[in-house]
Structures are given as C-alpha cells and as structure tokens.
Amino acid sequence: MKNKLVAVTGGGRGIGRNIVRAFKAAGAIVVSIDRKAERFNTDLSTPGAARTLIDEIHAAYGYLDILINNARSSNRSLLGAETEEEWDHEMAVNLKSAFFLAKYAMELMPEGSAIVNVGSITANFVSQENAAYQISKGACLQMTRVLAAMGAPKRIRANAVLPGCIVQDEHRERYHSAQNTAYRTAFDGVHPLGRAGTSDEVARAVLFLAGD
C-alpha cells in the first residue's frame, strides 16, 4: 500500500475518517474528499461533481490507484415519507456520484487498481426508516457488480462492504456512558457477537479489499 494514491469520499467524519487513518497508517497517499475539506471539498449531490473531482485529482497527481466510495446521505424520515427532493439528494450522493466517480476514476487507474463501495446492511432487509437510503444501498450492490465487469479488462477490482450497526468515534463516548446503559445493553444484545461494530473494523475490511 506504500505510496499508492487513495481517494476517500466522505473522509472527514464517521467511518470515512477511520478509513483515511487506516490507509495513511499503511503508507498510502490519501485524498480525503468532504464538503468541509480544505482542498477537495466537492458537494457530490451537484450535477457534474464527479467529473470535476476526478479532473482535480488528475491535475494534482496524474493518477489514482484506489477509490473508496464512502460518502452517504440519509434523512431520518419514516418509511415512505421522503419528499422528492430528499429522494433525489440521496440517490445523487449514494448512487449516482459513486458510479460516475468510479467510471471516471478508471480512466486514471493503472492495471490492478481497486474500487471499494461502502454500502449498508439495509441492502438486504427492510427497516422502518428511509426508503430512499435503503433502495440506494440495494442498488449499490448491483452497481458494484457492474463496475467489476467494467474494470475487468484492466484488472480493476470492485468490491463492497456492508456495515451493520456501527458505533462511530464521535458517538463512542455517549454510547458507552452510564446513562446509556439500558439502551446499550438492549442494542448490543441483538448482535451475535454481543456488541455493535466499530468504524475501525469497517476500515480494516476496506483496507483488505483494496490491497493486493
């Protein structure tokens, strides 16, 4: 992984921040893409954002080895209560931007490169929240298969990870607080391991799939 160029969308917080840390620790050069980033602060919901971002990476580095599509949008509406505007925004960030970033990234990628899409366990079951998010993550699985076929001539791999319930770094202190004991006990109890997952565990899985 040393000196490979890795682009991570949604790299400023949550799982994305842990992914950025994992790749840096492995010796990679990491481009963290986030709306609040100092340099690559693209809003992926806007038309043409994917093309602009890949062109900026090309101008700055000239190549790209690994793309991690981690950026996500999720409103908190009840199942079926989304507005058309919310639907369009989530599909733009969760699905459209991921596909076109990957498509344009393949133009810069040498043989043997990798794309990893961060999906969600909601791709495989229906919850009572946010239809648009669940549908977009279900489509992410098929998109990953399509990208694998598109990248095959250049031996560019495409894989996906589907995190379940993850305690992210910014929520960890509150999650493990004394006043949250009853909720945490009930929440952890539904998992076979007896606990929720962590962002570091997702990051390690992404690092593995992106490696040689």
- Positions annotated as catalytic residues are 133
- Please state, in angstroms and rounded to a whole number, the distance separating the CA atoms of residues 32 and 19: 10
How far is residue 145 from each of residues 9, 25, 105, 142, 192, measured CA to CA in Å?
Answer: 20, 29, 16, 5, 28
Closest C-alpha to 47, from 82, 9, 93: 93
Where b means 16+ CB within 10 Å and e means fewer, 103-131 reads bbbbebbeeebbbbbbbbebbeeeeeebb
Task: Count other C-beta atoms under 10 Å from residue 6's C-beta.
Answer: 27
- Please state, in angstroms and rounded to a whole number, the distance separating the CA atoms of residues 186 and 195: 10
Token pair 């498509």 is at which residue? 103
- DSSP state for residue 155 in the 8-state scheme: T
